[in-house]
Amino acid sequence: MPHRYFTTEIADGTAFLRGKDAHHLARVMRAKLGETVILCDGNAVEYTAHITGFPEDAVEFSVEEGYPSTAEPNITVTLYAGYPKQDKLEEIIQHGVELGCARFIPFFSRYCVAAPKKEEQKNTRYNRIAAEAAKQCGRGILPEVCMPLKNFAAVCADWAQYDLVLFFYECGGESLHTLLKQLPEKDNGDCLKIAVVTGSEGGFAAEEAQAAAQAGAKTVGLGPRILRCETAPLAALSAIMTLTGNLE
Amino acid sequence: MPHRYFTTEIADGTAFLRGKDAHHLARVMRAKLGETVILCDGNAVEYTAHITGFPEDAVEFSVEEGYPSTAEPNITVTLYAGYPKQDKLEEIIQHGVELGCARFIPFFSRYCVAAPKKEEQKNTRYNRIAAEAAKQCGRGILPEVCMPLKNFAAVCADWAQYDLVLFFYECGGESLHTLLKQLPEKDNGDCLKIAVVTGSEGGFAAEEAQAAAQAGAKTVGLGPRILRCETAPLAALSAIMTLTGNLE
């Protein structure tokens, strides 16, 4: 299988790869003139590309006509993840990208144990992890990790853009099957936008669950077993992708 | 919520906890006479128990009548996991227990990078991790981690006991929805027995996929994205539990 790289520099049958990826392809993989790679524009279009040159710190390609990436789900899922301790957010991002998540928005809430610290620096790292995972698992887009929201009110205020907001709560709620079946098809062929909200180690305060429902979220459970805060988002994403036919 | 412990010493309205768990309850949690905990017999029956004494290195309880654990799925899933590198098997066991897996059987196969090493010692550790996860997530049984099978032929020879064997293969296969819908109900009220087979980092050889199909496994995929070997079993378990109504 040819290697895959993301680049936005694709135009008129020519493309360039720069920076670390160019170094990886030219120096680490020791690619040669004429070799084939897959380039992805990060907007779900992929190109078969042939190496035509090695200008300084770059690789140049001739590209064939683009084709839509087949790896993107037909729904656009944003994960709002309660900020966990240690490096669990990295695990959530890495596996979440594999499971088709398009965007990650960490947030702080009442029972979060983690406190904000060097978040700009961490965000750069999180986005690098997301990009690496996207490359490895064959995504057609580069999932984004946003800066964390400061409290749960900011989370609830962020939901106008979605067709469905699923608030995963340890006390259970409506059936995910039913909620996903009720979703309308988009007339214009756009993807349905779904938000998934899961808590940190401490879970949610009852007031936060109420606020989520008032802000329009549907409350759902993940069964009678208590899932860890790094397991719940992956189980939720798997369940949603399964029920919408995106995991088969 | 009262603490939960597993013990097999429950009879005639009296129960005992010994060893590390007794130490934890008596010394770490500093439990007092009369306090309530939940005891589970590891066979999906739970008991509300009140502390009646602290004999040496033990805790004694009076127990009320047992009731069935509500946390067990209505299917019994065994995960055959290709032996991964580093501590990924621990991650698979921990999260797999939360997702309702009943038994783990690691195996070596053609493209496994990991090689057998101190497996008896590791197996003790794996079972301890499974037991801790079972306690924390509220399982009604203690999922078991078996000693690893030496090759893929041993895996295929182990399947007579299941109602359905699902071989998760990167090249895709039948629809999981359809396969699970076709499963018969058990007349005697027993749980359906399902085996899930996922590969190590290197995936499966084409001959192994053929051997699995010949041994009666159904080949299924997990979508167009390439899942890591620690993500695939958790996505597979989530998908199966979702489609059988055990994750809501």
Tens digits of per-residue pLDDT, A207-238?
999 999 999 999 999 999 999 999 999 999 99
ipTM: 0.93
B92 vs B104: CA distance, rounded Å = 9
Predicted pLDDT at A185: 78
Q: Are B226 and A137 within 8 A, CB to CB? A: yes
| DSSP label at residue B115 | -
Instruction: List the Cα angle B102/A231/A109 in 5-degree steps.
Output: 145
Q: pLDDT per residue over B92-102, tens digit each?
A: 999 999 999 99
- According to CATH, the superfamily of the domain at A75-243 is SPOUT methyltransferase, trefoil knot domain (3.40.1280.10)
Above pLDDT 70, what percent of chain B? 100
Residues of chain A with Cβ-Cβ distance to B176 below 8 Å are: 242, 248
Q: Do domains B4-68 and B75-243 have the same CATH topology?
A: no
Residues of chain B with Cβ-Cβ distance to A224 below 8 Å are: 70-71, 138
The residue type found at B110 is R
Residues of chain B with Cβ-Cβ distance to A228 below 8 Å are: 94-95, 98, 136-137
Mutation target to probe the A interface, by most A beta carbons within 10 A, among B169, B242, B243, B244 is B242
Q: pLDDT per residue over B131-186, tens digit each?
A: 999 999 999 999 999 999 999 999 999 999 999 999 999 888 999 999 999 988 77
Ranges of residues in chain A with a pLDDT under 70 are none
| Cα dist from A49 to A7, A14, A38, B225, B241, whole Å | 12, 9, 6, 21, 41
The verdict on B176 touching A (C-beta cutoff 8 Å) is yes
What is the residue extent of each domain of chain B? 4-68, 75-243
Predicted pLDDT at B2: 81
Note whether B81 and B90 are within 8 A (CB). Answer: no
Q: pLDDT per residue over B175-234, tens digit each?
A: 999 999 998 877 777 889 999 999 999 999 999 999 999 999 999 999 999 999 999 999
The domain B4-68 having CATH identifier 1.20.1080.10: the answer here is no
Residues of chain B with Cβ-Cβ distance to A177 below 8 Å are: 248
Residue B71 has pLDDT above 80, yes or no: yes
Averaged over B23-37, what is the pLDDT?
A: 94
Q: Which of B100, B220, B234 sits opposite A225 (nearest CB)?
A: B100
The verdict on B202 touching A (C-beta cutoff 8 Å) is no
The verdict on B1 touching A (C-beta cutoff 8 Å) is no
Encode chain A in three state secondary structure: CCCEEECCCEECCEEEEEHHHHHHHHHHCCCCCCCEEEEECCECEEEEEEEEECCCCEEEEEECCCEECCCCCCEEEEEEEECCCCCHHHHHHHHHHHCCCCEEEEECCCCCCCCCCCHHHHHHHHHHHHHHHHHHHCCCECCEECCCECCHHHHHCCCCCCCEEEEECCCCCECHHHHHHCCCCCCCCCCEEEEEEECCCCCCCHHHHHHHHHCCCEEECCCCCCCCCCCHHHHHHHHHHHHCCCCC
Predicted pLDDT at B1: 73
Q: Are B224 and A138 within 8 A, CB to CB? A: yes
Predicted pLDDT at A39: 95
The verdict on A117 touching B (C-beta cutoff 8 Å) is no
Helix (H) or strand (E) holding B15: strand B14-18
Closest CA to B94 of B131, B122, B69: B131
Q: Are A98 and B227 within 8 A, CB to CB? A: yes
Tokens of A101: 């998540």
Q: Are B176 and A248 within 8 A, CB to CB? A: yes
Q: Which of B138, B172, B221 sits opposite A225 (nearest CB)?
A: B138
A215 vs A209: CA distance, rounded Å = 10
Predicted pLDDT at B183: 87
Residues of chain A with Cβ-Cβ distance to B175 below 8 Å are: 248
Predicted pLDDT at A82: 98
Averaged over B42-53, what is the pLDDT?
A: 95
